[in-house]
Amino acid sequence: MAGINALMGKKIGMTRVFSEDGSSVPVTVLEVGPCVVLQKKTTEKEGYNALQLGYWERPLKRLNKPARGHVAKAGVDTGFRFIREIPVEDPNEFEPGQELTLSDANISQLVDIVSVTKGRGFAGTVKRHGFSRGPMAHGSKHHRAVGSSGMSAYPSRVLKGKRMPGRMGGKRKTVKNSLIVDIRPEENLLLVKGGVAGAINQMVLVYFK
């Protein structure tokens, strides 16, 4: 059976490991899988080849009736917090209800990790974009304000794309080419070099290259 090219997981946190020469390497610990196959999508029926995977078990009583019927059709007796589709070459190599772990993945040295950044709420330009503040003396009336943002005569408006205060964070982000430092399939753990966007327990999607 061909391996899977992507799996869901969650961010556990950060730590460090020591290489053979004694140098410290910062790593992010990800718990990847197990994921359960809920549905097969084929070119003949849906127009593309993919697997629908469920991750992070959830009690059935938390699901509505359509969702309960969907997992029951796959022969699974539990619900899931997250359901995502993963492209595969041949869905017929997998079966509904099958559990996929790191042992079933096509793992090389690099991975792409998709997650959602931490939500910071409404933020000003100093925090959101790194603008400089004004003088902090009492005579100044310009401390952390935006400053000039548009033109007076022409075109008499604020140009689209101007960096302004607004909602910060909470966006989908992909960290590409993260180096795998260690793999522990028996614990479903994957250690990658550097940081991964998102808070602790944030769901991540790991694409193996």
Q: What is the pLDDT of residue 122?
A: 97
Rounded to whole angstroms, how far apart are CA atoms 65 and 44? 28
Q: What is the pLDDT of residue 157?
A: 92
Q: Which residues of 55-83 are buried (b: 16+ CB within 10 A; e: fewer)?
A: bbebeeeebeeeeeebbeebebeebbeeb
**Do the Cβ atoms of 92 and 39 come closer than 8 Å?**
no
CA atoms within 13 A on the CB side of 198: 24
Chain centroid, CA 202 distance in Å? 7
Bridge-partner residues for 100, per DSSP?
35
> What pTM value is reported for the model?
0.84
Is the dihedral angle over the CA atoms 57, 60, 61, 65 positive or is it negative? positive
Rounded to whole angstroms, how far apart are CA atoms 3 and 102? 10
Each residue's pLDDT, cut to its tens digit, for the chain (209 residues) gives 467 899 999 999 999 999 889 999 999 999 998 999 999 999 999 999 999 999 999 999 999 999 999 999 999 989 999 999 999 988 888 999 999 999 888 888 899 999 999 999 999 999 999 999 999 999 998 999 998 888 888 889 999 999 999 999 999 999 999 999 999 999 999 999 999 999 999 999 999 98
Q: Which of 75, 118, 116, 72 is nearest to 97 (CA)?
A: 75
- Residue 165: burial class (beta carbons within 10 Å; 0-12, 13-18, 19+): middle
Rounded to whole angstroms, how far apart are CA atoms 209 and 191? 15
Q: What is the pLDDT of residue 3?
A: 76
Q: What is the pLDDT of residue 2?
A: 61
Single-letter code of the amino acid located at 192: V
